Amino acid sequence: MKIIVAIKQVPARDSQLRIASSGKWIEDVDLSYEINEPDAYALEAGLQLKEKHGGEVIALCAGPARAAQTIREALAKGADRAIHIEEEDLAGFDPLSGARLLAAALQSESPDLVLTGLQSDDLGYGQTGVILAELLGLPHATIIMSVEASGGGIKVKRELENGWFQNVEMALPALLTIQSGISKLRYATLMGIKKAKTKEIRKVTAGDLGVTPSASITMERVYLPERTKQTQLFDGPPKEAAAKLVEKLKFEARVL
Amino acid sequence: MSILAILEQGEDGLHRISLETLAAAQQIAGQLNTTASAAVMGAVPDQLKDKQFEKVYAIEHELLRDYTPDAYSAALRQLVQKEAPSLVLFPHTYEVRDFLPKLATALGRVAVSDVVSHRVDNDALVLVRQLFQGKVNVDVRFASEAPNFASLQAGAYRADSAVSGSAPVESFTPQIAASEIRTKPLDRFRESQRAVDLGAAEIIVSVGRGIKEAENIPLVQQLADALGAELAASRPICDAGWLPMERQVGSSGQTVAPKMYLAVGISGAIQHLVGMKGSRTIVAINKDANAPIFEVADYGIVGDLFQVVPELIEAVKKAK
């Protein structure tokens, strides 16, 4: 099975975010970056399918030069090779033109399965996978908990709302977006890290792919949300803060 | 210029989030001096017949009985092309997330997903959505010609502000061939019966990623015991197997509204907030002052839970 996993590099989850002076994005000078967590689960699902059925896992990532670090980590975990669409500034690409980049880069690979996370932790549109499926003319399913090969196709378990699930069958090639948390993520081994250094990373640019940035929606201004609720915050040493909180819960909220 | 709301119904009629989208469509249409219509798959439910709309479409085709992204996308593309609305609104459900990007792409558009509010600026619509899991907001505008698409987050609009009236119902039958449908949905199922009914608990202590290790769960259990509370968790804790799935609160777990909800080490991703924001008193303990949980909290302590929780247990014991 030839599997492509689309991954994204995003600011680390516990980053303290500040708004950039332009008001168009966050201040990114002292941020650290990591793989988008949902994509880490997509990569894990891809590696497990390869272990079971054989084949190849190719990591596909659009991002600036710093994304090479995240790509190396995917190779160290077991991806066989990678494609890096290297663009310093992807801000001009909306989810559709961004997906066009991915589609153009993977078309010549003719994969059996394309996997990605269900959403990104930074922009959070939750659309790239489905847009990519439409651009590639592939059937798709989203928020997938497990994948089983059956006959010439696959049977997947889709998460619905309120604790419900549904199995869906489809032929290959297909695209799936993977739910986070469905398996335990592997760590890269020392051997894996060593091997990753010799694995191929094919670099292409948007220009090579013939894709130009376009935005049919524009992000006008980013800002910290205003609190709609008046939250009483207690600070000071933990002992004092705890005592103040309990007093409020007892005499004001009357829940104790 | 007009607005079309595509609503989702189950066996028991329109879901709450669809009622919210219905009200939002009426409200935005009023602000933009235009008309609103609505559409559902299948027969029009009573909840929709007595609302003020230009028209209500019943989209009917036997291939729409079981949801598939191919059939839904094909049907809605045809309705949008016929009706030519300037804006198409959806509730941001799992189903909509599954087909809306496909529909928008087929029409060369990008949907603005998961909208939390809007404003009208010089007759143009500005939509507000969240970045970085609710830590940052962004104002978004459409830069394309009609039709444009947006989905609205659960709880973002008030269902009870819907305007009553009447709406002529029109049947719309799209052209769909069975060969266009490339996925085969099988039966829907639930994994297990729920033994713990969090809905009955008066006080809930809920734990999230901030707890770091399974070995630390007993600390929060002690707090729950001191308060006489049920222990619950956010999704990552249940995914990791540190607590059973039946104790999960959020869009994929249980929805609760106890007298007090105390969130320990939970940042408050929207998937969690929709499951608990109806609680009467919300308390949050988190090390990040910008965590979205503080936007819904009545009381909070910004600090290291490993220092705060032991002190809180002592203080609760003393107060009781």
Domains, chain B: 2-180 (3.40.50.620), 198-319 (3.40.50.1220)
Give strand ranges (E) for chain A.
2-7, 9-11, 33-35, 56-63, 81-86, 113-117, 140-150, 153-159, 164-171, 174-178, 201-204, 217-223, 232-234
Name the H helices within chain A. 37-53, 67-77, 95-106, 128-136, 190-196, 206-209, 238-251
Domain count of chain A? 2
Question: B216 falls in which pLDDT band (50, 70, 90)?
Answer: very high
Query: What pLDDT score was predicted for residue B193?
Result: 62
Q: Which of A124, A182, A217 sits opposite B133 (nearest CB)?
A: A124
3-state secondary structure of B252: coil
State the pLDDT at residue A252: 92
Cβ contact B125:B150 at 8 Å:
no
Sheet holding B112-121, edge to edge: A217-223, B136-142, B124-131, B112-121, B148-152, B87-91, B2-7, B35-41, B56-59, B169-172
Q: H/E element holding A214?
A: none
Asked if residue A110 and residue A59 are part of one domain, the reply reads: yes
For testing contact with chain B, the best of A127, A146, A156 (most B CBs within 10 A): A127
pLDDT at B5: 98
pLDDT of residue A63: 98
Q: Which residues of A touch B320 (CB under 8 A)?
A: 256
Residue B176 C-alpha from the chain's centroid: 29
- Under the banding of pLDDT at 50, 70 and 90, the label for residue B278 is confident
Give the phi and the psi of residue A98 in degrees, each rounded to 5. Answer: -65, -40
Q: CB-CB: which of A159, A222, A231 is closest to B294? A: A231
Ramachandran class of A144: left when φ > 0, alpha when ψ lies in -120 to 50, beta otherwise: beta
* Range scoring the smallest mean pLDDT among A91-100, A109-118, A230-239: A230-239
B121 in reach of chain A (CB within 8 A): no
From A221-235, B10-24, B221-235, B274-288, the region with the lowest mean pLDDT: A221-235
> Which residue in chain B is spatially nearest to A241 when comparing CA positions?
B301
Residue of chain B whose Cα is closest to the Cα of A228: B295
Q: Look up residue A222 and give its two tokens.
A: 């980013």
Instruction: Give the pLDDT confidence score for residue B213 in this predicted structure.
Output: 96
**Domain containing A53 — which CATH number?**
3.40.50.620
How far does A104 lie from chain B, in Å, by closest CA?
15
Task: Count other Cβ atoms within 10 Å, centred on residue A131.
Answer: 27
The pLDDT confidence band at residue A112, using thresholds 50, 70 and 90, is very high
Looking at the structure, tell me whether residues A152 and A237 fall in a common domain: no
If asked whether residues A189 and A132 sit together in one domain, one would say yes
The answer to the question of residue A218 being in a domain is no
What lies within 8 Å, CB to CB, of A97 at 6+ separation is A211, A212, A213, A214, A215
Chain A, window 165-204: residues with a beta carbon less than 8 angstroms from a chain B beta carbon: 165-171, 180-182
Q: How far apart are CA A233 and CA A256, in angstroms?
A: 19
In chain B, positions 10-49, which contact chain A (CB-CB < 8 Å)? Answer: none
User: Residue B199 contacts by C-beta under 8 Å, 6 or more apart in sequence?
Assistant: B254, B255, B256, B257
pLDDT band at B138 (very low <50, low <70, confident <90, very high): very high
Mean pLDDT of chain B: 94
Stated pTM of the model: 0.91
Q: Could you give the count of Cα atoms lying within 13 Å of A214 in the half-sphere of its Cβ?
A: 14
Asked if A221 is an interface residue toward chain B (Cβ–Cβ < 8 A), one would say yes
In this structure, are A158 and A80 located in the same domain? yes
Q: Give the other-Cβ count within 10 Å of A157's Cβ.
A: 20
Which pLDDT score, from 0 to 100, does residue B50 have?
Answer: 93
Kindly state whether residues A125 and A199 are assigned to the same domain.
Answer: yes
pLDDT band at B299 (very low <50, low <70, confident <90, very high): very high
Within a domain: residue A216?
no
Q: What is the pLDDT of residues A185-222, one digit of tens each?
A: 999 999 999 999 999 999 999 999 999 999 999 999 99
Distance CA A209, CA A173 (A): 22
CB count in 10 Å sphere of residue B93: 19
The rounded distance, in Å, linking the Cα atoms of B140 and B125 is: 9
Nearest CB partner across the interface for B132, out of A17, A125, A162: A17
Stretch B215-220: mean pLDDT:
97
Model confidence band, residue B218 (pLDDT cutoffs 50, 70, 90): very high
* Complex prediction ipTM: 0.93
The span from the CA of B173 to the CA of B150, in Å, is: 24
> Which chain B residues contact residue A221 at CB under 8 A?
138-139
Pairing of strands B148-152, B169-172: unpaired
Residue among A168, A170, A220 whose CB faces B139 most closely = A220
Distance between start and end Cα atoms, chain A? 58
**Span B9-38, average pLDDT:** 94
- Do A22 and A75 lie in one domain? The reply is yes
Residue A195 lies in a domain: yes
Is the CB of residue B55 less than 8 Å from the CB of residue A124?
Answer: no
Residue B92 corresponds to which amino acid? Answer: H
Please check the confidence at residue A229 and state whether its pLDDT lies above 90. no
Taking alpha carbons only, the member of B294, B254, B292 closest to residue B276 is: B254
Across the interface, whether the CB atoms of B136 and A130 are under 8 A apart is answered no
For residue A244, the enclosing domain spans 225-256
Q: Which positions in chain B touch A239 (Cβ < 8 Å)?
A: 311, 314-315
Mean pLDDT, rounded, for A1-18: 94
Q: A231 and B299 in contact by Cβ < 8 A?
A: yes
Distance from CA of B46 to the nearest CA of A (A): 24
- How close B166 gets to chain A, by Cα (Å)? 31
**In whole angstroms, what is the distance from residue B167 CA to residue B7 CA?**
15
* In a domain? residue A235: yes
Residue B303 has pLDDT above 70, yes or no: yes
- Asked whether the beta carbons of residue A122 and residue B302 sit closer than 8 angstroms, the reply is no
Residues of chain B in contact with residue A153, where contact means CB-CB under 8 angstroms, are none
**Which of B114, B194, B295 has its CB closest to that of A124?**
B114
A164 and A231 fall within a common domain: no
B110 touches chain A (CB under 8 A): yes
Q: Is the per-residue pLDDT at B41 higher than 90?
A: yes
Residue of B14, B37, B153 whose CA lies nearest to B88: B37
Most A CBs within 10 A among B98, B247, B293, hence the mutation to make, goes to B98
User: Is the per-residue pLDDT at B76 higher than 80?
Assistant: yes
- The C-alpha atoms of residue A50 and residue A55 are separated, in whole angstroms, by 6
Residue A219 in any domain: the answer is no
**Is B264 within 8 Å of B167 (Cβ atoms)?**
no
The pLDDT confidence band at residue B209, using thresholds 50, 70 and 90, is very high
Percent of chain A with pLDDT over 70: 100
- CB burial string B14-43: b at 16+ within 10 A, e below: bbebbbbbbbbbbbbbeebeebbbbbbbee
Q: Report, as an integer, the average pLDDT of B11-18.
A: 90
Asked, for residue A17, whether it belongs to a domain, the answer is yes
Q: Are residues A51 and A21 in the same domain?
A: yes
Considering chain A, what is the average pLDDT of its residues? Answer: 95
Domain contains A107 = yes
Count A/B contacts: CB-CB distance under 8 Å: 252
A236 in the same domain as A158? no
Give B106's contacts in chain A (Cβ within 8 Å).
134
pLDDT of residue B195: 67
Q: Which of A44, A245, A248 is most worth mutating to test chain B (most B CB atoms within 10 A of its CB)?
A: A245
Q: Chain B contact for A142, CB < 8 A?
A: yes
A217:B101 CB<8 A: no
Q: Is A161 on the interface with B (CB under 8 A)?
A: yes
Distance, C-alpha A154 to centroid of its chain = 22
A246 closest CB neighbour out of B94, B307, B316? B316
Residue B290: per-residue pLDDT: 87
Contacts of A228 in chain B (CB under 8 A): 295
Question: Looking at the domain assignment, is residue A256 inside a domain?
Answer: yes
Can you say how many angstroms the Cα of residue B313 is from the centroid of all Cα atoms in its chain? 34
Q: Is the pLDDT assigned to residue B132 strictly greater than 90?
A: yes
Asked if the model's pLDDT at residue B316 lies above 70, the reply is yes
pLDDT in tens, B90-109: 999 999 999 999 999 999 99
Q: Which residue of B has its CA nearest to A235?
A: B301
Residues A107 and A167 in one domain: yes
First to last CA, chain B: 61
pLDDT class for B192, splitting at 50, 70, 90? low
pLDDT at B154: 87
- Alpha helices by DSSP H, chain B: 16-31, 46-49, 69-83, 94-106, 217-227, 235-239, 270-273, 293-296, 305-319
